[in-house]
A and B are shown apart, each in its own frame.
Chain A
Amino acid sequence: MPPKLLTGNAAAAWGARLAAVDYVPAFPITPQTEIIEILGAWLDSGEMPGRMVTLESEHSMITAAGAAAATGVRVFSATSSQGLLYAMEMLYTVAGWRAPFVLVNVSRGLSAPITLEADHNDVLAARDSGFLQLHCADCQEVLDSVLLAYRLAEDPLIRLPVLVNLDGFYLSFTREPVSLPEAEAVRGFLPPFDPRDIRFAANAPASQAVAVLGGGPYSYFRYEAHLAALNGVAVYERVAAEFNTLFGRQRDAVECYKTIDAEIVFYMIGSFSTKAREAVDRLRDAGQKVGLVRPRLLRPFPAGHVLTAVAGKQGIIVIDQNLSIGLGGILYTELLASLYDKPGAPPVVTSFIGGLGGRDISPQEFYHMLTITRQAIASGSVPPPRLLYTAGELREIRKLQAIAQVEREETAPGQGPIRDSNTAQETPRE
């Protein structure tokens, strides 16, 4: 079948359809809505078997998703941003149930201030929840990742829910050619869900998600989930290799682009990594030996793969499209922790915050980050983390602030509505 032009959202919906999901608990939020609308249309027309139910909140949506998976059906759901955080209590809960299902998150910056465009603070807020995480850079990868995610979630060595992340607007609403694998071939890769003994049925009474008394059993079950998640690295490798054989697309846990002879590598996740790829090509044209390391699998954290990818390099440039307020970039701190004391770990790791709320990262900025990192390597002194922000952007925000200030003064209580400049001069204030 020739590739179809699909948005990232449509690719996610196709992933669910090809995975032959039984059940879709839903709740709308921009920029995810298109996913549930497409699935709703297919389910209504009968093009896709299964059932969708619209809950009254994401908290309930994830509860229903986990409960259905715990009863033994294949479940798909999708959300974004505020919705993911609204469901946060249940993300931890259903992961603790060891309920295997796939949740697509369409990244969007978190309120406040409220915005619609992408960054990764939403999905990274779930990084400790027990959901595994796959991060996509293009629309084809969205579809592929949904299929891979089911294999991960349902693997007997894992049995945990999986989040597949795509960036709002940049992927959700961008049409790209996507090849749709044949349903038959997908069935070969992803057979129907076998819930084994985790289900509800009258002839096999079960108590799930019961309380424990004390830290002993609690620690045991939490750590067991952690160990199951860690199994995800090896399982992912096996499953991705199988996927490659069947569908001819290589989906490594950590994507390495022109890294073999690179002296310095960019390190980032998500769709903005395609900008880094582009920058790598241009910088290579200019004689710079650079590359890109992009974790696709972020939970479990593929520490070994990352180390192999960066070992022996002179420096790493970490670009975080997120901000842990009061600490800095999340990828940066996690990467440093994973590299500490490891033989071959690059001596210089620089940290940049970029792309918050969908802010672009320009080719000049990739060049600039490289320059700063080269200087750090030469001087042996690593600069503090910084925000990618141009003088022009600062000028723009200053203008907005000036307007806000004028508006506030002009509409202050007792000042009447809008005054002309003469009256303003007659009533000077301190």
Chain B
Amino acid sequence: MSEQRINRMKDLPSTHLLGTGTPMCSGCGGLEALHQIYDVLGEKTVFVNAAGCMTLLSVYPFTPFRGSWLYTAMASAPAGAQGVRDALDILLQQGRLRPEEDLDVVVLTGDGSANGMGLSATSAAMDRNLDFLYICYDNEGYGNTGQQSSSATPHAAITSTSGGSCGYPGYKKDLFSIWAAHGPAYVATVIGSEPLDLARKIEKARDLQGSRMIIALAPCPTGWGYDPKDSVEIGRLAVKTGIWPLKEYIDGQVVHTRIPHERAHVEDYLRLQGRFAHLFTPQADPAIVADIQARVDSYWDKVV
């Protein structure tokens, strides 16, 4: 296993591998994270994708990837990864593939797939300790189909299936804990607006064996209702307010990699996004905002 090499901002890769000109929206936080992730993982990878926004990265005959790609379906990308990994291992074992031709298998799905119809395939992949990396870009809804609520949608967010004055009635599912409960090699949360934290975690995940699971919060101007130029700011606020805890699970322990001791009020984050506008206009709804704040506070009370 190699030493952690990315320690400071200046250690971040300076060459960028993912091609430009994709059909993702401008300001897409998922794509921002993917760029950084790909710079660390490199081209000796095969991305196994589930239906979602990122499916449109590779549209015949173009692809931004220098490495390989396989689109599967919405529910079974981890099973696709199983088939590819097993086949590569068989080919290596039979001497039909030289070790230097081997690939890292990387699943790329949205939160809808990861939390919903893909969860059983993911759970089973971890049960089998599949040697793969899973990247879930979490834009907190079924983005590709127009931002309907998924079980990663946060409380009170307006989506195209939860409108009205209250927004989404449920609470964001704790996918990190669900994944960690399987005891895989690694689970981490990341966000594109914290590139050093992200790169360190992806580097660590890259160099481990077994199931390595990453959830990237993916600010989504189109689905969340804000100006694309604010993506990075919204990402930073997600961390500063404590709404998106940056953490990792390794060797049975959960460690927070960034603890916002002076947390900003959740309002700073919510106010910037159209999906939460109903909490502030035409009339403020302090109860819901207070509920969201209380949940964030209670989370961090347990951490520190």
**Chain A residues at the B interface, C-beta cutoff of 8 Å:** 22-23, 25, 50-51, 53, 55-57, 59-61, 63-73, 75, 89-90, 93, 200-203, 205-213, 217
Pick the interface stretch among B24-32, B41-49, B194-202.
B41-49
**B12 within 8 Å of A (CB atoms):** no
Pick the interface stretch among B71-79, B171-179, B216-224, B268-276.
B71-79
Cβ–Cβ contact A56 & B121, under 8 A: yes
* A–B complex contacts, Cβ < 8 Å, 6 sampled: A51-B90, A56-B123, A72-B87, A202-B101, A206-B69, A209-B70
* Bound Cα distance from A211 to B103, whole angstroms: 22
Which residues on the B side are within 8 Å of A51 (C-beta)? Answer: 86, 89-90
Contact of A207 among B63, B73, B90 (CB under 8 A): B63
Q: How far is the CB of A376 from chain B (nearest CB, A)?
A: 47
In chain B, what residue has the closest Cβ to A206? B68
**B96 within 8 Å of A (CB atoms):** yes
Q: How far is the CB of B63 from chain A (nearest CB, A)?
A: 5
Q: Knowing A57-B120, A210-B71, A211-B56 touch, does A203 contact B101 (C-beta < 8 A)?
A: yes
In chain A, what residue has the closest Cβ to B124? A56
The tally of CB-CB contacts under 8 A between chains A and B is 152
Cβ–Cβ contact A55 & B124, under 8 A: yes
Q: How far is the CB of A213 from chain B (nearest CB, A)?
A: 6
Cβ–Cβ contact A68 & B101, under 8 A: no
Cβ–Cβ contact B60 & A211, under 8 A: yes
Of residues 49 through 101 on chain B, the ones whose CB sits less than 8 Å from some CB of chain A are 55-56, 58-60, 63, 65-73, 75-84, 86-91, 94, 96-97, 100-101
**Chain B residues at the A interface, C-beta cutoff of 8 Å:** 43-44, 46, 48, 55-56, 58-60, 63, 65-73, 75-84, 86-91, 94, 96-97, 100-103, 120-121, 123-124, 127-128
Contact of B71 among A202, A206, A209 (CB under 8 A): A209
Q: Knowing A90-B76, A210-B60 touch, does A71 contact B91 (C-beta < 8 A)?
A: yes
In chain A, what residue has the closest Cβ to B76? A63
Cβ–Cβ contact B124 & A63, under 8 A: no
* Bound Cα distance from A238 to B234, whole angstroms: 64
Which residues on the A side are within 8 Å of B65 (C-beta)? Answer: 205, 207
Cβ–Cβ contact A22 & B69, under 8 A: no
Cβ–Cβ contact A67 & B79, under 8 A: yes
Which residues on the A side are within 8 Å of B56 (C-beta)? Answer: 211
Which residues on the B side are within 8 Å of A209 (C-beta)? Answer: 70-72
* Bound Cα distance from A217 to B94, whole angstroms: 37
Cβ–Cβ contact B83 & A64, under 8 A: yes
